[in-house]
């Protein structure tokens, strides 16, 4: 068995023309992703409506998440949210001057 560490802060592209989602681990009950954003946001009036709950933490950068039926939430490094299944949300903005690094855990029933 070869066990070696990896870093969520490694291999960051110099340019991010699109948001980058990378699956780090996936099995029948969970999917863990690293998401890199820089000035990215959801399309106007586009809402995520996911079948599973999602726990997300912002490790670096700054962002704001909007909700269809609640006030928006600004996130700073270390801030996290639990988004229940079918919680309609969208990324209103991410910092344009630096890469925002997210860790997202999707929990399947």
pLDDT at 2: 87
Q: What is the pTM of this model?
A: 0.92
Look up the CATH number of the domain holding residue 33.
2.60.120.10
Tell me the per-residue pLDDT of 9-47, one tens digit each, with 9 for 90 and over: 999 999 989 999 999 999 999 999 999 999 999 998 899
In the predicted structure, residue 109 carries a pLDDT above the cut 80 = no
CA–CA gap between residue 21 and residue 23 (Å, rounded): 7
Residue 48 within a domain: yes
Is residue 92 situated within a structural domain? yes
Please tell me whether residue 7 adopts helix, strand or coil conformation. Answer: coil
Domain region containing 66: 20-107
């Amino acid at each position: 068995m070869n066990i070696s560490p990896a870093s969520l802060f490694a291999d960051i592209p110099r340019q991010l023309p699109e948001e980058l989602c990378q699956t780090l681990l996936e099995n029948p009950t969970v999917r863990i992703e690293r998401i890199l954003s820089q000035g990215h946001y959801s399309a106007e009036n586009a809402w995520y409506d996911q079948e599973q709950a999602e726990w997300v933490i912002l490790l670096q950068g700054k962002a704001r998440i909007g909700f269809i039926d609640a006030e928006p939430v600004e996130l700073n490094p270390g801030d996290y949210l639990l988004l229940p299944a079918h919680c309609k949300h969208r990324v209103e903005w991410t910092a344009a001057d630096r890469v925002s690094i997210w860790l997202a855990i999707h929990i399947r029933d």
